[in-house]
Structure formats: structure tokens, C-alpha cells
Amino acid sequence: MKPDRFLIYGAAFIIMGLSNSVIPILPELASPHNIEFGGYASSLLFSTYFLGALATMLPFGILADRFGNLRFIGFGVVMTAVSGLTILLSENLWILLISRFIEGSACGALFPAAFATLSKSNDPRRYIGEFTFLSNAGLAAGALLSGLLADTYLKSAILIFTFMAFILTLLLLLRRRELIDHPGIEQSSALPNSIGNLFRESCREIIELLGRSNSRIWLSSFLLNGAIGVLIAYYPDYSLGTLTKLQLGGSIASLYVCAMIASLLAGSFRVREKTIIRIGVIFSIFGALFAIKYPFLGFSSLGGGSGLATVGYALAAARVNADRGLVMGLFNTTIFAGLSLVPIVAGIFTGFLSFENLFIANGFILAGALMFKE
């Protein structure tokens, strides 16, 4: 395996693993602050990560085109190590929220650069499938280890993935010369103007991309990941007292295990991206509804569907005629916009809707993605 792919795969596993280590223990992390913030403390801790990814995904994707993908992949690893250490050492809600935002920014640095690198390879379908597989493997491991080890030490999984992030940071130091002396980077005083022009041109391209017929793909991706975000954000509170931490962690982990398997299978399918997406969305709809009464079955179906659909979205985005970093930044922005914004909006309705009714509405909204023909 080439060093760049090893770094991308390792970063994907660790960054996503650390992000999900928090999910099964959200009620415990938020409980000291529930008097001041109510149920929003859990939602904020969940969503701030995705807000960090949302805020940085496009800017980092644009800058990765300019400064090199490898630099931003490395930047993501370093930010992950720093944020993980801070979460380990602090109990203050504001510090935890800032750390989660930095953790999300690390994801924002990784994903556009990684997808752009892999989409230029000689076998993008296979490598994007493998990247999606390892991303979901990290998410599954984070949720499962957190649920399994929470009774021993609440932040055990966070400790494990933070340690792994520091190991990968040390490996990056072996490539420091390559990271510093990247060819083709301007060193002149005109660099700020160059960056300004780059962002202005990119904004025009983004408007064009959003206005094209394939803009429905971006909206479909937003709805799918919004549905996932709502379930993951509110299921720990919904299942409190009915599921053990291990059962909760195992159910959430099943989402990512099935997404891993589905993403590998999608890499071997020789059918149109549109077909892969539609099959994935259908499985996801059933999963979002089944999870209300049957968490393991529901999360498994949702994971398998999302794994198929994500590969389909990525392959469709890779065909768009524009800078790869920009396109992949926009694609990943739709993912994290759904994961961050939809749970926050759903939180408005928790005051007068039961969690069960909220999840039913969530499934039917996702069904709207099937209405898109493009």
C-alpha cells in the first residue's frame, strides 16, 4: 500500500472512531449541565462536532486544491490528537464544545482532501469504497468500545483513539520535509490576494454546482444524513433505562458495521450510481422506522443503506467537471450539514413531540429523497 493511502485510511479510522466515542456517553457528559441547558446539552455535544465539519469542509476543500491534499490530511490528524486530549482532561461544557468543534474541523480537513486524492487514483471505485469502509469501521469501533468500557472508565474509548492519533502524528513527523517543501506552493507576498481570488472563483463555481440538475444529489445526501443524525443524537436519551450501554453501543455500532460491508459491496457493483443511491435510500428509510422498536435491526438496515448511498454519491460527485477538492468539499458539506443541522432543528420539536413520534416523522421526511428523479 502506498504511504499516502496508508495515511488516509489510518486517519479516517482514528478521526471517525474518536468522534463516535462520545455518543454512548452523551447523557453522562451532559448531565452536570442539564440544569442550565436541559436536554440541549446532549444535542449540543453531538451537533458541535458536525458544525465544525460543516464550517470547514468547503474552505479546507478549496485550500487543499491550492496547498496540497497531504498537508490537510496531516492537519486533520494533529487537530484530532489535540481535541481528544482536551476532551479527556476537561469536564467544562464550553471546553468540551470547543474541542468537539475542533474535532469536527479535523474531519473537515480530512474528507475533501482524501476523496480528492482517491478519486484521481487508477481505481477510484475500489479506493473510495475502502475509505468509506474504514471510516465506518472507526465509527463502529468508537461506539462499541465506548459502550463496552464505559463502566470501567467513562472516557476509555476516547483515551484509546487519542493515543492512536498521537501515534499517527509521530508517523507524520517522518514526512515533515515532504509536508513543508510541497512543490508548486507560492511563497510570494501576493499569496493573500491569490487566496482571495481562489475563494471568489470557488464561490462562483459553488453557485453553478448548486444550480445544476445534479443539485438534487446534494439535497438527497443532506436528507439521508439528517435522518441518521436525528437517530444517533436522540437515541441515547430515548433508550435510557431500557438499553444498557453495551446494547446501545452495539446497536449504533451495527449501523457502521453494515455501512462498512455495504460500501465494499458497492465498490464491486457495476451498475449506475443512481441505482446504488436509490437502493441505499430505500434500505435507510426502513431502518429509520424499524429502529423505533427494534434498534439493532433498524440501525443495521440504516447503516447498510447509507453505506451504499454514500459510495453512490461520491462516485456521482467525482464525475462533476470542477476542481476535485471543491466538489468533494461540497459533497461532504451536504453530509455534515445533515448530521449537524437537522438534529438541532429536531430539538425544537422535542418539547411537544415524543421521541417516538419524532423518529416516525424523521423516516417519512427521508422518504422524500426518493422523489428526486436525477
What average pLDDT score do residues 284-288 get? 92
Percent of the chain with pLDDT over 90: 24
For residue 190, is it within any domain? no
For residue 357, is it within any domain? yes
For residue 193, is it within any domain? no
**Rounded distance, CA 206 to CA 192, Å?**
21
Structural domain span for residue 280: 3-175+202-367
| Residue 286, pLDDT score | 93
| Residue 190, pLDDT score | 45
What average pLDDT score do residues 62-80 get? 85
Look at the block and give the residue holding cell 472563483. Answer: 201
For residue 144, is it within any domain? yes
Q: Which residues make beta-bridge pairs with 240?
A: 243
Q: Which of 27, 9, 11, 28 is CA-nearest to residue 19? A: 11
| Residue 186, pLDDT score | 46
* Average pLDDT score, the chain: 82
Residue 326 has pLDDT above 90, yes or no: no
Q: Which of 226, 217, 218, 220 is CA-nearest to residue 341? A: 226
What average pLDDT score do residues 127-154 get? 86
From residue 93, give the alpha-carbon distance in Å to each of 29, 49, 98, 273.
Answer: 8, 13, 9, 42
For residue 284, is it within any domain? yes
CATH at 89: 1.20.1250.20
| Residue 325, pLDDT score | 64
For residue 322, is it within any domain? yes
| Residue 214, pLDDT score | 61
Highest mean pLDDT out of 18-32, 56-70, 88-102: 88-102
| Residue 194, pLDDT score | 63
| Residue 323, pLDDT score | 65
- Residue 356 has, within 13 A of its CA and on its CB side, a CA count of 3
For residue 344, is it within any domain? yes
Percent of the chain with pLDDT over 70: 84
For residue 182, is it within any domain? no
How many domains would you assign to the chain? 1
